[in-house]
Amino acid sequence: MLNFYVRILGSSSALPTSQRMPTSQVVFYNNTPYLIDCAEGTQAQLRRFNVPMLKINHIFISHTHGDHIYGIFGLLSSYNLMGRKSDLNIYAPTELESIYSTVLNLNNDELKYKVKFFPLNPKGKVLILQNKHLSVYSFPLIHSKPVWGFIFEEKQKDKNIIKEKIEEFNLSISDIVKIKKGEDFVKADGEIISNNLLTIEPPKPRKYVFCTDTLPVKSIKKYIENPDLLYHEATFANEHKDIAKQTMHSTAEQAADIAKLLYAKKLVIGHFSSRYKKLDGLLREAIKVFPNTVLAYDGNKISVGEDDIKDDKNDLEE
Amino acid sequence: MLNFYVRILGSSSALPTSQRMPTSQVVFYNNTPYLIDCAEGTQAQLRRFNVPMLKINHIFISHTHGDHIYGIFGLLSSYNLMGRKSDLNIYAPTELESIYSTVLNLNNDELKYKVKFFPLNPKGKVLILQNKHLSVYSFPLIHSKPVWGFIFEEKQKDKNIIKEKIEEFNLSISDIVKIKKGEDFVKADGEIISNNLLTIEPPKPRKYVFCTDTLPVKSIKKYIENPDLLYHEATFANEHKDIAKQTMHSTAEQAADIAKLLYAKKLVIGHFSSRYKKLDGLLREAIKVFPNTVLAYDGNKISVGEDDIKDDKNDLEE
C-alpha cells in the first residue's frame, strides 16, 4: 500500500516553547509532501525532519493568524535561493496573497518561480485539489477569523484481479482493465462470469482530516465520516474551558467529542497552550471520551489508516 | 565587573540548516539583553536559550533582508500575547517600519504596547542609544542594500577609591564623589593630595562591534579601534571569494583582515553559507591571519573583554 502519513512540524499554539513550534505539518502520500500551515520556523523544521522541501508543490493555509503563516515569507524567499523552478500552489484565505506579496515587494524579493494562488471558498465542502491519488477538500470551521479545515482523501482504487483467473479465462489486457473497473466478464460462448468471482475488493480509501483553530463544530459531520486519522486542535484543558470558548478554541475533551462523533479511527491532538508544561492532563481528558488519542509533538509521524509506521506514542518526550 | 557578553541565536546565512538558524544575537550587559537582528525563528531561539524575552527593550536591525527580519512579526505578536506593557525601541532602516506595520495591520494584530521606531542614519558613526552603562553607535557598511554595523561601548567608569585612604584622610561622601571623578584632595591645612595617590584607574571600557552582511570595509577603522570583541560575517571560504564579492559578502580571511586592522582582541565569525557542512576550513583561513578567532554557533556565549565566560570554543559541535 502506498504510504500515507502526517509529520507534525509544530505542536504549540501561538507562543512557541523551547520544545514546540507553532502550527505546521506535512501530509505525505506516496512520498509526496503536502504542507499544511506555515508557522514561523517551518523551513527550519522541514530541514530538521528531512522533508524534501523542493518536492512541496502544494501549501494549504487554514487561516491567517500569525502563528499559522509567519513562516511563509522565509519559505518563499528560500525557494528563490534554492533555485526553485516549478510552480507552487497555495490554497489559502484571500488575504494571504496580499500579506506575502506586500512583504516580498517591500523587501524587493522577486520570486523566480510562479506562485498559483487559490483563495478558499467559505461555503461548505469544496474540492480544491485532485490528482491521481488524492482528493483534497476544504470546509469551514469557526474561529475569530475565517478558518478552514482540510480533508485528504485517497481515491477509490480499482479492484484487484485474482491472478489465477487471468489464465483460467485467458483474459486480455483490455478484459482486465474492464474487470478491474467492476464489469462482469462475458466468455466467447456467452456465459457470464460475475465480477466478484474475478476480483478482490481494493482497500477502503484512507482519509485524513485536519481541524485547525476552531470551536468544536458538530455540523462538520455532514462533510466527514469515518476518517482514519483526525487532527483536531486542543489548545486547552477542561479547567480552562471558559478561556477556550472565549478565544474560540477547543479543549482536549471537545476534540475527543468530535472524533467520536465522526467515528474517527484515531485522533491526534495539538496546538497546545504554552501554559501547560506537561500534557498528560489533556491526553487523559481526551482518552476518557475517545481512547485512541495521541498527543502531537514536533517531529512525530502518524500513519493514516493501518499502523505500518510505529513512530507515534502516547507519552510525552518531556 | 558587570557582565558583558554576546549570545549567538543564529549563525547561518539566508538558508537555515538543521543546526543553524539565520542571523540574530543578544548582547547582554549587566544581565540586560539587547537584541541584534531578528531572523525567522528568533523568538523560539530566545526561549531555547533562556533569554528573558520581556527584558528586551531595544532591538537593533542591521538591514531588511529577510534572513535578518522575518522573525519580527512573530516576536511583536507574541509580546502582545505575553502582556507586554513597556515600550519597545527599534533602531532599524526606515523601511522596516512599514514592513512590520503592514503585516500586523493586514493581520489585524494591534499591538497593546508602544513601539518607538528610530530610523538609522546612513551618514557615519551615529550615537543611537545611551544609558547609565552603555553607548550604542551605528555605522554604515556596504552590501546589496543599505546596511549598518553597531558598536556597544561601555561607558568610562569613575576611578576606584583606595579604601584605606578614606580613613587616613577622613574623607566625606562629597569628597569621595569628587575624588572618584578625578579631583585632587585638599586637606584642612591646605596640603594637596594628588588624585593618583587616592585612586586606582577604573578598568578600560569594553567594546563590542557587530559587522553584519558586508563587503570587507577597511574605512570603518575611522569609527572603531581596539574592540574587545568583533563579530564579522564570513559567509564564504577563500575558494568562493568571487561569489563573496558578487553577492557583497566577506570571506573568513577578509573578516580576519578587518579584525587585524582594527586591533581587535578577539574575532567571532558567523553567517556561514549553508554549502559548508564543516566549518574547519573557514576557521583555519581566518586563524592564519588573526589567531584569536572563534566560530559562531547557535547558542554560544562569548564574553566581551576578559574571558570570565568559558563557553566559547574553537571546534565545531557538528
- CATH number for the domain that contains residue B297: 3.60.15.10
- Dmax over CA atoms of chain A, in Å, equals 75
**Position A205 pLDDT exceeds 90:** yes
Name chain B contacts of A65, Cβ cutoff 8 Å: 107
A187 lies in the same domain as A262: no
Which pLDDT value is given to residue B83? 95
A271: left (phi over 0), alpha (psi -120 to 50) or beta: left
A142 lies in the same domain as A189: no
Compare all CA atoms of chain A with the CA of B70 and give the residue at the minimum distance: A74
B146 lies in the same domain as B182: no
Phi, psi of B4 (to 5 degrees): -155, 105
Q: Which residue type occupies B158?
A: D
Give me the residue from B18, B71, B106 closest to A40, CB to CB.
B71
B129/A270 Cα distance (integer angstroms): 43
B144 touches A: beta carbon within 8 Å: no
A111 touches B: beta carbon within 8 Å: no
Name chain A contacts of B109, Cβ cutoff 8 Å: 66
B143 lies in the same domain as B192: no
Q: Do B102 and A107 touch (CB under 8 A)?
A: no
Asked if residue A219 belongs to a domain, the reply is yes
Asked if residue A63 belongs to a domain, the reply is yes
Question: How many whole angstroms from its chain centre is CA B208?
Answer: 5
Asked if residue A293 belongs to a domain, the reply is yes
Give the DSSP per-residue string, A139-202.
EEE-SSS-EEEEEEEEPPPPPEEPHHHHHHTT--HHHHHHHHTT--EE-TTS-EE-HHHHEEPP
Q: Do A103 and B98 touch (CB under 8 A)?
A: no
A47 lies in the same domain as A151: yes
A31: left (phi over 0), alpha (psi -120 to 50) or beta: left
The angle at the Cα of B273, spanning A38 to A31, to the nearest 5 degrees, equals: 45
A119 lies in the same domain as A185: no
Of B174, B199, B224, the one marking the end of a domain is B199
The angle at the Cα of B94, spanning B92 to B97, to the nearest 5 degrees, equals: 80
Which pLDDT value is given to residue A252? 98
B318 touches A: beta carbon within 8 Å: no
A168 lies in the same domain as A54: no
Compare all CA atoms of chain B with the CA of A104 and give the residue at the minimum distance: B66
Phi, psi of A200 (to 5 degrees): -115, 140
- E strand intervals along chain A: 4-10, 24-29, 32-36, 58-60, 88-92, 115-119, 126-130, 134-141, 147-154, 160-161, 185-186, 192-193, 199-200, 207-211, 229-233, 267-270, 293-295, 301-303
Which pLDDT value is given to residue B44? 96
Q: Do A66 and B44 touch (CB under 8 A)?
A: no
Which pLDDT value is given to residue A107? 81
A63 touches B: beta carbon within 8 Å: no
Name chain B contacts of A21, Cβ cutoff 8 Å: 44
B28/B154 Cα distance (integer angstroms): 12
Which pLDDT value is given to residue A142? 97
CB-based burial label for A195 (10 Å; 0-12, 13-18, 19+)? middle
A27 lies in the same domain as A147: yes
Asked if residue B318 belongs to a domain, the reply is no
Phi, psi of A137 (to 5 degrees): -120, 150
How many domains does chain A fold into? 2
B236 lies in the same domain as B147: yes
Residue numbers of the domain that contains B194: 160-199
Asked if residue A310 belongs to a domain, the reply is no
Helices (H), B19-60: 42-48
A168 lies in the same domain as A27: no
Q: Do B99 and A103 touch (CB under 8 A)?
A: yes
**Position A317 pLDDT exceeds 50:** no
Give the three-state DSSP class for A207: strand
Least-confidence region, from A188-192, A236-240, B89-93, B239-243? A188-192
A188 lies in the same domain as A254: no
Asked if residue A312 belongs to a domain, the reply is no
Express as a percent the part of chain A with pLDDT over 70. Answer: 96
Any idea which residue has 502550527 for its cell? A23
**Position A318 pLDDT exceeds 70:** no
The rounded radius of gyration (Å) of the Cα atoms in chain B is 22
Predicted model pTM: 0.90
Asked if residue A308 belongs to a domain, the reply is no
Asked if residue B316 belongs to a domain, the reply is no
Of B199, B228, B257, the one marking the end of a domain is B199
pLDDT tens digits along A16-54 = 998 999 999 999 999 999 999 999 999 999 999 999 999
Q: Are the CB atoms for A90 and A59 separated by under 8 Å?
A: yes
CB-based burial label for B85 (10 Å; 0-12, 13-18, 19+)? exposed
Ranges in chain B, pLDDT < 50 = 311-318
B167 lies in the same domain as B210: no
